[in-house]
Amino acid sequence: MKTMRMSPRMSRKRNPGEPSYEMSGTRLEATTDSTYLGIIIQNDLGWEKQTQHAVTKATRVLNFIKCNFYMCSKSVKERLYLTLVRPHLEYGVAAWNPYKNCHQSALEKVQHRAARFVQGDYKRVSSVTEMLCSLGWERLTDRRETHQVTQLYKIINQDIDIGSSDHLKPKLQRNRRGNNTQFDIPHFTSTAYSNSFFPRTTRLWNDPIKTSLTSLPTRPSETATWTTS
How far the first Cα of the chain sits from its last, in Å, is 50
What's the pLDDT score for residue 181?
Answer: 78
Residue, of 17 and 99, whose pLDDT is higher:
99
Q: What rounded mean pLDDT belongs to the chain?
A: 83
Residue, of 208 and 113, whose pLDDT is higher:
113
Cβ–Cβ under 8 Å, residues 47 and 97 = yes
In the chain, which ranges are continuous DSSP H helix?
Answer: 48-68, 74-80, 86-89, 101-119, 128-135, 140-156, 191-194, 197-205, 208-211
Rg (CA), the chain: 21
User: pLDDT tens digit string along 126-147?
Assistant: 999 999 999 999 999 999 999 9
What's the pLDDT score for residue 176?
Answer: 53
Task: Report whether pLDDT(229) > 80.
Answer: no
Residue, of 168 and 178, whose pLDDT is higher:
168
Q: Provide the pLDDT confidence category of residue 214 given band limits of 50, 70 and 90.
A: very low
| Mean pLDDT within 120-126 | 95
What's the pLDDT score for residue 216?
Answer: 57
| Mean pLDDT within 209-220 | 52
Cβ–Cβ under 8 Å, residues 204 and 149 = yes
User: pLDDT tens digit string along 38-85?
Assistant: 999 998 888 999 999 999 999 999 999 999 999 999 999 999 999 999
| Mean pLDDT within 31-43 | 89
What's the pLDDT score for residue 162?
Answer: 86
Task: Report whether pLDDT(187) > 70.
Answer: yes
How far is C-alpha 197 from the geometric centre of its chain's CA atoms? 9
Residue, of 14 and 73, whose pLDDT is higher:
73
What's the pLDDT score for residue 6?
Answer: 59
